[in-house]
Structure 1
Amino acid sequence: MAPFPCGVCKKKFKTRPRIISHALETGHNANQCCRVCLRWFNSASALADHAKSAAHLEEEAKQSQSASASVTDSKETLTEAPPPVQLQFGDVTYTCLTHQQQDEIFNQLSAKCHSAEILEKEGYILDVEKGPTRKKEKPRPSLADFQQTPPIQPATIKRRAVVVDCEMAEAFDGSDELISLYVMDFLTGETLIDSLVISPRLITDWRTKIHGIDATIICEAVEHQNALHGWAAAREELWKHIDESTILVGQSILFDFEVLRLIHMRVVDSAILATEAVFNKMGKKYKKPRRRWGLQELCETFLGIQIRSGDGIHSNMEDVLAAREVVLQCLLKPDHFKDWADKAREDFWKPKEGSKNQKKKKKTKEPTHQIAKQAAPVLETIEDFYDSLDDDDIFYDFEDARGFYMERDWFTNVGADIAYY
């Protein structure tokens, strides 16, 4: 049996050089391949440890000097790291990273990239022929329009990680259409793209109350030549700054990928990070959870800041800064993030005020978890009950859920503090 299987496409390779070449060409398991030293590691954490080693730093310095000498004249080349910029929106000041911090944070970010299995279950389109696994709630773009991010070009240096945010309007057929694109370098905070987008299709609902963009604003942008012509031009503009090795960061950016018709494997989604932390999915078979923490709620409960204050209008720049800050603080302050997740998990399982669950709990003398354990050893905790649900099991109250499981003799009682879905 080949000792080096690819965790994405399942191909097997007999030697390390072959799987390294495969990772460089496809971006598969890129968080286990050191592109500087051309070495392969068994885990993302092992790669992160390697990135701190003296041998890696020495090799990185050599290649950096060589690259600076060979591509000085290229417009797409970053021969020198730009200085940290002041990041502020409204009354909130966001985190700036020093040059020394940027390398360490990038290594940590690489280790947080989600697996292909998780991205598929979350609804990301990774295979044009296979299409999305998430149920179709509204019309989607044609799968024929989706394209993989271009591969690495050694002569051109792209950004290592960027944050992406799109605003959408509703087209005549009910599908989403891109009308605004904002992209920021995750490490430096530098704005790379800030542009409105002219829709090639008829817009029937601008959703102006959400983002403040309407036909008049688009027309003014066209007059000032500050608009991209359609999603294809927007995607090409994005590709000027990224390749398949770039990490794309954002809040629920599968929707941004859809309107850009983009397939990309290196992703850190702040919404997924939050639910993984709360429901302890790391290391287990991943099941898409029913609870989602939105960006505004994460900022308030985890970061302690307010966004979209006043009229509640979404700003591309503010949303990008906020999503970046959530991910950064997950990396910079893991203990604080764990404390937030523990509190969020406790609140999730707490009975809602005035619910049937709460009334039943007052009559129950034994702790809920003891009842669950006595009645059904295979479902020892309420969290086990939650994990046992299939993706299509939606219950409106505890009685509905218990009835479903009693019919199948899976348990007789799991207590009375199952939260509403």
Structure 2
Amino acid sequence: MGNSEGGLRIVENSDLLYEYNKNVRPAVISFSLGLDYPASCPNLLAGFIHIKPNDSFKQDSILTCTPLCLYVIRGCGTTKIADEGQVDWSEDDLLVVPYQTQALNHFAHEDTAFYYVHDEPLLKYLRAKPAEKAFTTTIFRSHVLREKVESIREKPGSEHANRLGTLIGNPDISETKSLTHTLWALMNVLPANSLQKPHRHNAVALDLVTYAPKGKCYTLIGYDLNEDGTIRSPTRLEWKSGSAFTTPLGMWHSHHNESTDEDAWILPMQDAGLSKLEILPNEIFFNIFSHLLWNDILTSFWLLNKRFNSLIYLNFSINNCGIIINKTSLSYKIFLSKLFPLISNCSSLINSIRHIHLDGTCPHSYDFFNKNHCIQNYPNLKSLILDQFYLSKVLINNLCFLITGRLNELTMILDDVFTVFELEKELLERAATQNTFVGESKKKNKRCVL
């Protein structure tokens, strides 16, 4: 487990790691994320701290996050943690501290720069406050991280690996091999004269370049791949020691080291231990939707974000999914109280509905044809199924209107043969006066089945 001093854990054994002026400058992109609080990606905030020699700095962000990760870019000094004692650190050490009730006090013996990452944006989003420590304060010594990576590099076949690095796993969270319960980290080496082939992540990556030969390293990033596997129309990001950049979720990127004799080192961090529902492709969601009732889709996914709204629009547009009201799926009462206001207040949702299925044995289903809930309000309605409906002038007027200029398919399920005959006669007479054919045959891709 490593040595413990005053409640601190000092990791000094690489076998514990897994293969695979006072100035605070947060790396904030809150505006582009649509957030009203500082964030570098939806769940994390990264930034830099500069402390002059023989000066101190009180860091109070530990009061509002559950883990705080500090990487020492340069310098050496000590950090006092209220009820856990004092820890010494130096260049390239990695210090991870859980939630505290008092601010951290950093003292720098030399000119010092920290890179920090914490999960305050996640707590802001959840409207939550930390209440207890989730792990023991831990410091990973720089030589331990480097030794572990070097041991992986020496393994047979490592020259063919697309990634040479060690997962920085906290012993308290061994089941996920992550740095903390909400942070994942990898110490990664990019050998001289090599590249890490195009790949993409399932979460946003906050990348710190811990060392790069000057003018020799860069990342290419883009949305698509060419047929030869290279990135199409990439953006080039130059590496500089002590600098950081963000790799968006799902974007292809490759890392390049064109130095002939120097390795480069990079430390990516991502959120971890969280449910990443949005990493799933659209096809998976459509498959999920196919097993759900339409009203459950709306109540579960509507207004989560713009992507889910768009998926719901598309699902209604391309599948035989629409408003279905019958005894087995949804009562008209629930539709009227919960779903009708939602649908009627969104023109995009109304426009996306192509299919409606109504059961006449359900109370108030006929209200769908009155002025307030008029079925004519769905401009792109193409398929209508009416099961066990009694004929009325209002119903026939609506059907004639829909058949004339809107529906591609009308299906009516009726038990009474005489009623079927009368309905067909009425529709034919109405259609004749409006120059529209209605019957069992097809014309202009329209079909009426009685």
> TM-score range, shorter-chain basis?
under 0.3
Please state which structure has a larger fraction of its residues in strand: 2
Q: Which has the higher contact order (CA 8 A, sep 6+)?
A: 1
Q: TM-score, normalised by structure 2?
A: 0.22
Q: TM-score, normalised by structure 1?
A: 0.24
Which structure has the larger Rg?
2
